[in-house]
Amino acid sequence: MSAKMPGINEYDDLLERVSARATASGRHRPPVTGDGGFGPDYTLFPLARTTATEEDTVVDGYLDRVPPADADTEWSWPKGVVPILDWGCAMSAAVDCLSEDGTVLLFEPNAITDQNLTRAWFVDAGSLAEWLETWLAGSGWYEEDMVDEEFDMPLWADATSRL
């Protein structure tokens, strides 16, 4: 029997207690001022659902993609890889939270030609900071005026061991 997951509003007390303890330890950082709604093309997902009308969030997107341990599926999502943006056509931008710099990955299942899921994972940027700088400079592969440019994204080397 599994425990029921609390709803977003039920986390308020926990978050307040965590914040109080983090503040007391002297390691508390100020909260981020932006929670999605900015970034390339379709914009970044918010971290968590704050209204009933929001469709995609980072937390829900990750939980929806990682199959239960006993699931029998050939389509798995790597643990620690958090979706941050939906590009459409089943493509996603995601951050590898297990990498030191927060590598940004492109999940592009349309690239699979032989049922090998590792061929759907590409390194879009070495870090989230680099990815955001590319967006700010208007030089990402997704920019309208960059369509004719040649982009050679390497396959994500960790895909084989993480899927």
Below-70 pLDDT ranges, the chain: 1-11, 14-15, 18-19, 21-22, 25-33, 35-36, 38, 50-54, 70-74, 147-151
pTM of the model: 0.73
- Output the 3-class SS for 47-74: CCCCCCCCCCCHHHHHHHHCCCCCCCCC
Q: In which region does residue 49 sit, left (phi positive, over 0), alpha (psi from -120 to 50) or beta (all else)?
A: beta
In this predicted model, what pLDDT tens digit does every residue of 113-134 receive, in sequence order? Answer: 888 888 999 999 999 989 988 8
